[in-house]
Amino acid sequence: MFKSQYLQKVYSGVEARNPGEKEFLQAVREVLESLEPVVAADPKFEQNGVLERLVEPERQIFFRVSWVDDNGNVQVNRGYRVQFNSAIGPYKGGLRLHPSVNASVIKFLGFEQIFKNSLTGLPIGGGKGGSDFDPKGKSDGEVMRFCQSFMTELSKHIGADTDVPAGDIGTGAREIGYMYGWYKRLRNEFTGVLTGKGLTYGGSLARTEATGYGLCYYTEEMLNCMKQDSFKGKTVVISGSGNVAIYATEKATQLGGKVVALSDSNGYIYDKNGINLDVVKQIKEVERGRIKEYVNRVSGAEYHEGCSGIWTIKCDIALPCATQNELDEASAKALIANGVIAVAEGANMPSTPEAVEAFQKAGVLFGPAKAANAGGVATSALEMSQNSMRYSWTFDEVDAKLHDIMVNIFHNSYNASKKYGMEGNLVAGANIAGFEKVAEAMIAQGISY
Ligand code: NDP
Ligand code: 2IT
């Protein structure tokens, strides 16, 4: 139940209109709960119908994606692009390729992207897309034919000033390359319509590293300001072993932490000596293999089946970087019992609401995804800037901008939490700080749709 009748009415409307979409409802509920004091302080949000507009995507495109596999069989997947909110810039957000993708998943991701993108301080609206296609086990030719078919429809709805997709789970440099090539062929134009491109055709230096690096910059600032502490000498557990997890491991190590565990959807590895990242990169980035393989190459390392056991490893800092709802209340309690001091989310919505509550009650520093993983999309926006200028910045220039953006996101969220009497609640702070700019822009632009 919400205290505000207005918020209760908005949430009930979302429930009625999106039945059974549990991830989407979870994401909306959390944001609306954070906004209680904001709507109570100023009637303009209700008068302008800001929240009922915010929870309804501006446009949703669901489409058939047919392609032919290596055996000559026709395969059919479903494609999605949800253009959620364009109040502060062109729709911006990744494309997820994973068998678990459905409307609820894409809508939760698109909804969260609105606030995350606003927090970056850069002019980008919120959107997300993807497909239930599973790139695992597919040949390069199959992935290419899928990407081309997917882009044939998607190209009708995107553009450098309209909607700029990027990577997410299952969509990395290979997939972005195939999609970009096909867009260019269809449109005969070389523009910044996708980000996360390869460095030879308009990609930004440091975009590959950005989400994981940004997560660590944010976490370092949170530790520094709220506990006069840092990564130095800390034991770190990171879930996942994809793009975000790998570069979070790299930066956490550079900052003096020791990362002792990584995972995939089958199980996790524990290496008490600290993860050898070169071995992980070879297995995951070059061979597209499973994390289990690590124990065959590094002596003393252990592999355990099942992914949630990773949260029973004793650590000071936990960075969930795999997927939504991967860290539940029992896992949170295990981390707390083992003395965790900070948790920051590299994945989108990896902690269940009960887990978040447990961390906050126990006084664990908690950095929510919208703030902590915003470095990826922020650097995507820097890629858009470079494409528009037909110019490129050096790695250090992009990395320095990323660092500043993450530090600002922490402080803006922290200050918002203070302003509304919830000092240190970075979930509420991020939601409020992200909301304020979008709401102002929506009100200023009138009620057009
Ligand atoms: P990748 O595809 O590179 O890696 C995903 C990792 O998460 C893999 O280790 C994968 O294991 C694991 N994983 C995926 N789905 C599940 C699942 N259902 N259960 C358990 N493990 C799973 O993706 P990214 O690293 O890019 O994305 C990871 C998270 O970070 C996602 O939540 C994404 O939305 C978020 N994110 C990504 C950004 C980016 O720039 N890439 C930016 C901001 C957030 P397996 O190989 O077994 O599937
Ligand atoms: O969740 C995310 O912020 C991303 N997957 C990155 C989106 C982007 O446009 O770079």
DSSP result, 405-435 = HHHHHHHHHHHHHHHTT-TT-HHHHHHHHHH
Q: How far is the CA of 244 from the centre of ligand 1 (A)?
A: 7
Find the 156 Cα to ligand 1 centroid distance in Å: 27
Query: Pairing state of beta strands 267-270 and 302-305?
Result: antiparallel
Ligand 1 atom nearest 262 alpha carbon: 9
Residues designated as active site: 128
Beta bridge partners of 268: 263, 304
Q: Residue 59 pairs with which residues in a beta bridge?
A: 83
What is the structure's pLDDT at 1? 87
pLDDT at 448: 76
Between the CA of 52 and the centroid of ligand 1 the distance, in Å, is 31
- Ligand 2 binding pocket (C-beta < 6 A) is 92-94, 116, 166, 168, 195, 348, 376-377, 380
The pLDDT, as a whole number, for residue 269 is 98
The low-confidence residues of the chain, meaning pLDDT below 50, are none
From 176, 247, 377, mutation site for ligand 2 pocket: most ligand atoms within 8 A of C-beta: 377
**pLDDT tens digit sequence for 269-291:** 999 999 999 999 999 999 999 99
Inter-CA distances, 109 with 84, 117, 347, 432, Å: 10, 12, 11, 18
User: What's the 417 CA to ligand 2 centre distance in angstroms?
Assistant: 25
Q: What is the pLDDT of residue 77?
A: 98
Element (H, E) at 237: strand 235-238
Instruction: Note whether 126 and 113 are within 8 A (CB).
Output: yes
> Of 54, 58, 20, whose CA–CA distance to 34 is shortest?
54
Supply the residue whose CA is at minimum distance from atom 15 of ligand 1. Answer: 323
Choosing from 112, 143, 244, 249 the residue with most ligand 1 atoms within 8 A of its CB, the one to mutate for a pocket test is 244
Does 237 sit in the ligand 1 pocket, CB within 6 Å? Answer: no
Q: Does the pTM of the predicted model rise above 0.95?
A: yes
Q: Is 323 in the pocket of ligand 1 (CB under 6 A)?
A: yes
**What sections of 120-239 are H helices per DSSP?**
140-154, 173-187, 207-227
- Which ligand has an atom closest to residue 349 CA? 1
How many angstroms from the chain centroid is the CA of residue 362? Answer: 25
Give residue-wise pLDDT tens across range 82-101: 999 999 999 999 999 999 99
